[in-house]
Amino acid sequence: MTLYISFMMAASDSRWSIERLNGDNWTTWKFQTKHVLLAKGLWNITQGTEVLADEADDATTNAYNSRCQNALSLLVMSIETSQLYLITSCETAKDAWEVLKQHFESSA
């Protein structure tokens, strides 16, 4: 059975269905998931290029932490259960993305 995950984009009310990462679809999953993260404004967090400023106030810190959690959750929810062992110890979306990339691109 093929499992699909739908992502809702509030601004345009569009839906995407992306096949969950299953070990055989890395290239397609990576491309589509990157674009979902881009559309949701979470790609830079996943890449580690968006960081919290040292002088950030509480509201900014809370918003940033929420976006970090959303990015990681999006990745977790887009991976089949059989592949989750790869990222269960990851604390950030950047770490999870890097672990997946290293695993699947080194075995390709």
pLDDT in tens, 34-51: 999 999 999 999 999 999
Query: pTM to 2 decimals?
Result: 0.84
pLDDT band for position 106 (50/70/90)? confident
**Is the CA virtual torsion 35, 90, 66, 4 positive or negative?**
positive
Range of the domain at 83: 4-106
Structural domains in the chain (count): 1
